[in-house]
Amino acid sequence: MFGGLSGDATISAWVDLDSTSNNQMMLGAGSDKDNFFVMALNDAFRSGLNVEGAGERRMVADSGVPAGTWAYVSCVQKGTAASLYVDGKKVATGTADHALAAAVAKAGAFAHLGGIDFWGDPYFGGRISSLAVYDKALDADALAAEMKRTDARLADEVARAETVLDAGGLSVDQARALTQAQDAAKAVADDPTATAKEAAAALKRS
């Protein structure tokens, strides 16, 4: 996920929280307590970066994101300047002594979507869609464009899930899982390098 990073970076995703209680980890990456990056949500949106045990550099917004609705959250680092955005609007700024890549792109580093095991903080409760990592610092216009582009995909994903939900009496999570499986199967089936056996197996799983 972070292998191509070296300097400036942007991490964005659509999130839909079930509640704003506790300190829910949206994303955790790194190798240990001395080298990590986190994005977390509760009643405030925050990020934290620690490299070589130099101490966690935090950014904390004045507020979080509302529960029960989709929001587009982003963390942008350009040089030593860092910013948090919600729905394309800057909500916090800070400084970073090191590039994000110094903590997350080294050998042996991990990336955990929805939680991190270091401190026992609650795992993310809700849904995450269209997570993206960019090897550059997106400005406000670029973030707005990505928000619009990925929102169209999100709307399509939700619409297809609701169609399956209405037709089959499935739960929301089951419907989403089915549409994702269908997408994966189609990707394999359309791949000219895939074998007939691989395509058939993927289509059967969907």
Supply the pLDDT for residue 137: 93
Supply the pLDDT for residue 199: 47
CA distance 135 to 147: 17
Residue 63 has pLDDT above 90, yes or no: no
Residue 152 has pLDDT above 60, yes or no: yes
Does residue 108 belong to any structural domain of this protein? yes
Query: What is the reported pTM?
Result: 0.72
Q: Report how many helices (DSSP H) and strands (DSSP E) the chain contains, helices first.
A: 4, 10
162 and 122 in a single domain? The answer is no
Number of domains in the chain: 2
Nearest alpha carbon to residue 135 among 29, 49, 8, 28: 8
CA distance 29 to 2: 9
196 and 169 in a single domain? The answer is yes
68 and 157 in a single domain? The answer is no
Work out the average pLDDT over 115-121: 72
pLDDT: which is higher, 196 or 3: 3
Work out the average pLDDT over 37-54: 87
Name which of 65-74, 93-102, 165-174 the model is least confident about.
165-174
Last residue of a domain, one of 112, 138, 164: 138
59 and 130 in a single domain? The answer is yes
27 and 115 in a single domain? The answer is yes
Range of the domain at 187: 152-205
CA distance 167 to 83: 43
Does residue 4 belong to any structural domain of this protein? no
Residues with Cβ within 8 Å of 188's Cβ and at least 6 positions away in sequence, in order, are 194, 198, 199, 202, 203
Does residue 54 belong to any structural domain of this protein? yes
Does residue 147 belong to any structural domain of this protein? no
21 and 114 in a single domain? The answer is yes
Does residue 37 belong to any structural domain of this protein? yes
Does residue 3 belong to any structural domain of this protein? no
Does residue 1 belong to any structural domain of this protein? no
CA distance 206 to 204: 5
CA distance 82 to 9: 10
Supply 199's token pair.
């395509």
